Amino acid sequence: MPTQTTTIEAFIDALPKVELHVHLVGSASVPTVLELARRHPDGGVPVDERELRAFYTFTDFPHFAQVYDRVNHLVRTPEDVATLVLGAARDLAAQNVRYVELTVTPQSHVRAGIPHHAVREALDLAAREARGRHGVQVAYIYDIPADFGIEGVRGTVTAALEHPAEALVGFGIGGIEQMRAPIRDEIRDAFRAARAAGLRSLPHAGEMTGPETIWEALDHLGAERIGHGIACVRDERLMARLRDTGTPLEVCPTSNVCTGQVAALAGHPLPRMLEAGLFVTLNSDDPPMFDTTLTGEYRAAAEAFGFGRDDLAALARNAVTASCLDDAAKRALTGEIDALL
């Protein structure tokens, strides 16, 4: 007879999934990076698969930052942007992921010399091909790279308002949270403009800093979902606010351990957040760079926290509910999850 672990693993594999928090560059797996590295052999990234896998093996946060930067510098043409999207869709399809909201940082591609309109065209083409080739529906979130300062804010607003991809659904902010303070007013203005244009406010907050960043996102950025948000457990009043409003939190456990925000998976605040009645979803963030997948996050939750089928199905349902899918698509996916139980 199969063991309980095998049964849970098979259940996770079969579970229809939605991914809400994954970065386009950070989603690039070895096959995708190998394609880009061979296309741009001067990029300082190994073009031999074995060497590339060794280079990609996570060691610490500075190494992760180096790998991310190197991969980002391989994205020089619209074709490269499309390659990233299609690679992500291929990898997600293998995990039974039906829908993904990819976080794109358009200003990093513009900095590399790709015009705004060309970035948009590449994203549009890739989203259509991803649906036809891999059966994965792709939506996009444009995020401000706080590390770029005012340039990052203005460039992202230009991309979102003047050159939006057809599948653009949200507006966010990522990067180092501590870099936001000097440009706080500009960030607020940017989110106000994006929301007025009909985009959902989906900022990262409370990953590298404390609860104050989450309060800022809620009170001044109109956040409808929070990326990460794990610092909320330090503030009971904030947890009550998140619970009462049902604000979804995009939790990325393996990422939090790899970046040093949490010492070990066993000590991750995810169980406490669920016990407090918070609306939590599971996500992968930068999966190949952290040696994980969305499926791997569900398996890790089962192993580290003892989550069973009902718990995992509830997390999968939460992701569907928190997504930007239309109501009919949400009902269909939720029905599949319920049928699997």
Taking the chain, what is the end-to-end CA distance rounded to the nearest angstrom?
A: 20
Q: Determine which one of 19, 101, 177, 207 is catalytic.
A: 207
**Is beta strand 226-228 parallel, antiparallel or unpaired with respect to 249-251?**
parallel
Q: 189: which residues sit within 8 A by CB, 6+ positions away?
A: none
CA 239, chain centre distance (Å): 22
Contact 191, 157 (CB under 8 A): no
H-assigned helices in 40-105: 49-56, 61-72, 78-93
- Nearest partner of 251 among 17, 96, 20, judged by Cα: 20
| CA 341/CA 320 separation, integer angstroms | 16
User: What is the Cα gyration radius of the chain?
Assistant: 19
- Structure-token pair, residue 207: 């990953």
Concerning whether 207 is annotated as a catalytic residue, the answer is yes
Residue 213: count of CB within 10 angstroms of its CB: 23
List residues bridging with 168 in a β-sheet. Answer: 140
CA separation for the pair 229, 226 (Å, rounded):
6
**What 3-state DSSP class applies to 76?**
coil
Number of Cα atoms under 13 Å in the Cβ half of residue 85: 34
- ∠ CA 59-62-66, nearest 5°, is 95
The secondary structure of residue 177, as a DSSP letter, is: G
CA distance 188 to 221: 6
Query: Looking at the annotation, which residues are catalytic?
Result: 207
